[in-house]
Structure 1
Amino acid sequence: MGDTRELGIGIGWRPEIADAVEGLPGVDWVEVVAENLCTGHLPDSLLRLRERGVTVVPHGVSLGLGGADRPDPGRLADLAAKATALGAPLVTEHIAFVRAAGPAGALEAGHLLPVQRTWDALEVLCENVRIAQDALPVPLALENIAALVSWPGEELTEGQFLAELVARTGVRLLIDVANLHTNHVNRGEDPAKALAELPVEAIAYVHVAGGVERDGVWHDTHAHPVPRPVLDILADLSSRVAPPGVLLERDDDFPPAPALAAELTAIRDTLTRSAPVRRGAVRSVGAVGAVGAVGAAVAAPVAVAAGAAGPAGATTAVRAEAAPAAPAAAGRAPVRADEEARQRVWVAQAALLSALVAGAPVPEGFDRARIRVQSRALAAKRAGVVARIAPELPRVLGAGYRAAFLAYALARPLRGGYRRDALDFAEHLLVAGEPADPVARRRLTRWWEERAGERAPGPVARLVHAVRSALGRG
């Protein structure tokens, strides 16, 4: 257990394509979203794959290791139990934050949000990673994420940030080449530069996925075919180091099995073509850790004066004076007032999340147009998830479901999970006297009462709602 040297070619297992995955030729391993599993009731399809010798890796999405709070022990214990139940060689998560405590209480993003690449955020992330590593029975690998927005005042590039993370914690990396492409389009970041700066020999495996560009913004949908630029980044990575595993992700709009097989073939062909030009010399993890992954070069003004390109051509200055001296040895972090760092990270993340999901003012330095795009994307994702777990709602509301949910979501943050969100959305409509069609309203009322265990809001609640709306507080 713990050996990831030869994972091979894999695909993300999802219930919608379980039969197709079992029948695909040449699938060495699968990855499954950890939060979608129940330890005591593993899907029959996964059990059959395991019996055939197919490796199963749990992939977490809710730990929020990049957040200001320390990891939740219950979430860690749950992930550990799933790794054990699956006999997994490792578990994976994301370098992201997903929640923060705002002025109105705890806020959930319902999505992976980027960590600001500062020394403060790095210190917090490293401690959180060490806590997670101690709680897990197998090695941990962390994934770089896709982002629509750029943080102002970043002090490290993505490659430098990841290299420091590896040097200080020994964590493995899950490199998503589709996310590197997303950040190239959305944030002007060079994928080749990121690959050149990060310790590629620390890679546990690689993600490949598709997306779509709308109005100059790349959306990492996992619902479209893998585009050529993503395969080109995979080829660049493979020319630098042989990745132990490469996995195709697909989360929506699932194509027939032959289309999935064709995408896996394209991945294999890309790896085969790039292997002959692979460079022989790569840095070792030990050597990187011994001098600090970023080292004095990052702290030198000449290395950082140019800054990093942000959205719409904006430039984010990197402050050389903010960089501490490199660690004296592998795994040794600079001395820092950790709780003060956490407080600074919390303030920044709470302000951003409040702007994205609670209608708060956009923090200084952010691209306001991009914040609006991200806010609507988060609301749209909530609409999609609620539609899947409560399919009766779009059936009752028909074509008006999406517009009604977006209007609700843009004013009401996600709290208490998606099932609670579905109930809150239905209650919101009933209090507002919606839907207008009496038959649909009776169906929605019945649905809400069966699940909430109480009577639906009546005339008094609707009157209060009307008054609050008139006062601008509804």
Structure 2
Amino acid sequence: MELGIGIGWRPEIADEVEALTGVDWVEAVAENLCADHLPDSLVRLRERGVRVVPHGVALGLGGADRPDPVRLASLAARAELLGAPLVTEHIAFVRAGGPLTASPRLEAGHLLPVPRTWDALDVLCENVRIAQDSLPVPLALENIAALITWPGEELTEGQFLAELVERTGVRLLIDVANLHTNHVNLGQDPAKALDELPVEAIAYVHVAGGVERNGVWHDTHAHPVTAPVLQVLAELRSRVDPPGVLLERDDAFPPAAELAAELDAIRATLRRAAPPAGARPTTTRDAARDGDGPGVGDGTGVGVGVGVGVGVGVGVSESDGDDAGNGVGDGGRAPAAPVPAGTRDRTAVAQTALLSALVAGTPAPEGFDHRRLRVQSRALAAKRADVVAKVAPELPEILGDGYRAAFLAYAGGRPMSGGYRRDALDFAEHVLIAGGPADPVARRLLTYWWQDRSGARPPRRTTRLVRAARAALVGK
């Protein structure tokens, strides 16, 4: 399935995306689309023959829980509404706690890395199979950027992805910016990862910008694509001709001319890095299959280097009809084995301990880099502040320059347990109960804003306090 060159569609740059030339397809964040109708811009793009791929961010397939059927149904509905050729998600966990740990549910508000262990792989593979059975089109999973790494990991990133593909037949969405991020932050070699992963399973590629601060690379999607990221793209292109390459931009959107220039730089990189006609580069996985190198295994089973060829690159997958050449078939895949007893429980405990340390200030789990955990914790809080400001732009307007400091102080002691809109309401309620903002006009506006959006619910103690504050305002 050839996609070509694409760009991430966002409402803020919808007009610019429509005006760009040479864009073959776009990707839209699935959770930002309504289930029953599309934005006019996407309708017009589809009428021009531009494919639209929904990109999910909330499933948390790497989490200890099985995928939420409601979220899966929502993603499936968006795929059908768009007539999408595939859907994509992330190899990450985004929430923890709950019944498996008998603790409160915690939301990260962002993508967090899955430990590259056999336990985590077992859980991920079962979750992926559940998702595949619930979706009307093929699924591709993205490698994520990380600020932290888990202690005691048993596989490299490439090995982990290769095992995942072998067991499930899932496709891969390779983000070269994330490979660069993990190189800077974690010392992981992008070339080695590309050598080890099954490049023939790649559905498409992400390219995005970021920035380095104090020796840490932040995958912001709000800065121009850098030369090192394009170099990783070139490394990938020297190994395989990806079916699609997409430019991501999520914030600080530049003029259309700058977006067009970045797309041109991507095209030029792909042209320059293409191997000569007839050449076939050899990777470490090729050597393993040919008997010239070790397979990837744990001593108890068949190594990945030997087994990947069974389920990958068959050419035509069951759900793709006649899209040949880049598909990932599952005809040779072994029947799914259930997750061993206790594996989900162990995964749940480990992920809950980490997320609690990041968002609730509990002690850091043993073996983690405490400095990196602090960086990750601050990044999660900043992400919450930014997203809440987008979903509820009235809050920074009402609170002015004090919004960010007030929100970070609130977030420091109150983990997110629901979505961002619930977070916005809880933040406003917290500010009002604390007696703020100091300006009476702002306090009145914030009160009315909260009242208009909170909806009917039983009057808890906090609600009664807000009502008392509202009554006091009326009397002034």
Matched, 1:399 2:401: yes
Specify the alignment match of 1:366 in structure 2.
368
Matched, 1:69 2:71: no
Does the CA contact (< 8 Å) of 1:376 and 1:410 recur in 2? no
Specify the alignment match of 2:207 in structure 1.
208
Specify the alignment match of 1:15 in structure 2.
11
**Cα deviations by residue, 1:77-121 (Å, 9 ceiling, x for unpaired):** 111111111111111000000011166411111101000000000
**Cα deviations by residue, 1:225-270 (Å, 9 ceiling, x for unpaired):** 0000000000010010001000000000000000000000000000
User: Partners of 2:335 and 2:373 in 1: how far apart?
Assistant: 33
Specify the alignment match of 1:33 in structure 2.
29
Does the CA contact (< 8 Å) of 2:429 and 2:466 recur in 1? no
1:297 positional shift: 4.5
More displaced stretch, 334-343 vs 115-124:
334-343
1:459 positional shift: 8.6
1:395 positional shift: 1.2
1:288 positional shift: 11
User: Partners of 1:269 and 1:459 in 2: how far apart?
Assistant: 58
User: Partners of 1:203 and 1:215 in 2: how far apart?
Assistant: 33
Does the CA contact (< 8 Å) of 2:196 and 2:283 recur in 1? no
1:457 positional shift: 5.0
Matched, 1:55 2:51: yes
Specify the alignment match of 2:165 in structure 1.
166
1:447 positional shift: 1.6
Matched, 1:450 2:452: yes
Specify the alignment match of 2:431 in structure 1.
429
Matched, 1:233 2:232: yes
Report matched runs for 1:167-186 at 5 Å.
167-186=166-185
The match for 1:388 among 387, 390, 394 is 390
1:342 positional shift: 1.0
1:419 positional shift: 1.0
1:298 positional shift: 3.9
User: Partners of 1:141 and 1:71 in 2: how far apart?
Assistant: 15
1:434 positional shift: 1.3
Report matched runs for 1:81-230 at 5 Å.
81-101=77-97, 104-230=103-229
1:360 positional shift: 1.1
Does the CA contact (< 8 Å) of 1:431 and 1:461 recur in 2? no
Unaligned runs of 5+ in 1: 301-322, 463-474
Does the CA contact (< 8 Å) of 2:296 and 2:303 recur in 1? no
User: Partners of 1:29 and 1:15 in 2: how far apart?
Assistant: 16
1:460 positional shift: 11
**Cα deviations by residue, 1:302-345 (Å, 9 ceiling, x for unpaired):** xxxxxxxxxxxxxxxxxxxxx65548875338967523111111
Specify the alignment match of 2:280 in structure 1.
280
**Cα deviations by residue, 1:331-390 (Å, 9 ceiling, x for unpaired):** 338967523111111111111011111111110001111111111111111111111111
**Cα deviations by residue, 1:402-447 (Å, 9 ceiling, x for unpaired):** 0110011111011121111111111111111111222222221222
**Cα deviations by residue, 1:193-250 (Å, 9 ceiling, x for unpaired):** 0000001111000000000111111110000000000000000100100010000000
**Cα deviations by residue, 1:258-291 (Å, 9 ceiling, x for unpaired):** 0000000000000000113585156899x99999
Closer/same/farther in 2, CA of residues 298 and 212 from structure 1, 3 Å limit: same
Does the CA contact (< 8 Å) of 1:180 and 1:191 recur in 2? yes
Does the CA contact (< 8 Å) of 2:141 and 2:173 recur in 1? yes
Does the CA contact (< 8 Å) of 1:201 and 1:283 recur in 2? no
User: Partners of 2:83 and 2:195 in 1: how far apart?
Assistant: 34
Specify the alignment match of 2:345 in structure 1.
343
**Cα deviations by residue, 1:120-174 (Å, 9 ceiling, x for unpaired):** 0011111111111111111111000001101000000000000011111111100
User: Partners of 2:56 and 2:454 in 1: how far apart?
Assistant: 29
Closer/same/farther in 2, CA of residues 23 and 297 from structure 1, 3 Å limit: closer
Specify the alignment match of 2:319 in structure 1.
none
User: Partners of 1:96 and 1:373 in 2: how far apart?
Assistant: 18
Does the CA contact (< 8 Å) of 1:66 and 1:125 recur in 2? yes
User: Partners of 1:418 and 1:445 in 2: how far apart?
Assistant: 19
Does the CA contact (< 8 Å) of 2:238 and 2:281 recur in 1? no
User: Partners of 2:232 and 2:33 in 1: how far apart?
Assistant: 32
Closer/same/farther in 2, CA of residues 147 and 433 from structure 1, 3 Å limit: same
Identity of aligned residues (%): 73
Specify the alignment match of 1:314 in structure 2.
none
* Secondary structure at the counterpart of residue 358 of structure 2: helix
More displaced stretch, 25-34 vs 413-422:
413-422
Does the CA contact (< 8 Å) of 1:201 and 1:282 recur in 2? no
Closer/same/farther in 2, CA of residues 277 and 373 from structure 1, 3 Å limit: farther
1:192 positional shift: 0.4
User: Partners of 1:13 and 1:41 in 2: how far apart?
Assistant: 16
User: Partners of 1:459 and 1:136 in 2: how far apart?
Assistant: 44
Closer/same/farther in 2, CA of residues 333 and 363 from structure 1, 3 Å limit: farther
Does the CA contact (< 8 Å) of 1:201 and 1:284 recur in 2? no
Closer/same/farther in 2, CA of residues 213 and 277 from structure 1, 3 Å limit: farther
Closer/same/farther in 2, CA of residues 439 and 66 from structure 1, 3 Å limit: same
Does the CA contact (< 8 Å) of 2:432 and 2:466 recur in 1? no
Closer/same/farther in 2, CA of residues 297 and 34 from structure 1, 3 Å limit: closer
Specify the alignment match of 2:38 in structure 1.
42
Closer/same/farther in 2, CA of residues 391 and 223 from structure 1, 3 Å limit: same
Closer/same/farther in 2, CA of residues 181 and 343 from structure 1, 3 Å limit: same
1:450 positional shift: 2.0
* Runs of 4+, deviation exceeding 3 Å: 276-279, 281-285, 287-291, 294-300, 323-337, 453-462
User: Partners of 2:129 and 2:294 in 1: how far apart?
Assistant: 21
User: Partners of 1:16 and 1:289 in 2: how far apart?
Assistant: 47
Counterpart residue identity of residue 384, structure 2: R
User: Partners of 2:259 and 2:139 in 1: how far apart?
Assistant: 28
Q: Structure 2 length as normaliser, TM-score?
A: 0.86
Counterpart residue identity of residue 152, structure 2: G
* Secondary structure at the counterpart of residue 120 of structure 2: helix
Specify the alignment match of 2:259 in structure 1.
260
User: Partners of 2:341 and 2:405 in 1: how far apart?
Assistant: 42
User: Partners of 1:185 and 1:128 in 2: how far apart?
Assistant: 30
* Secondary structure at the counterpart of residue 342 of structure 2: helix
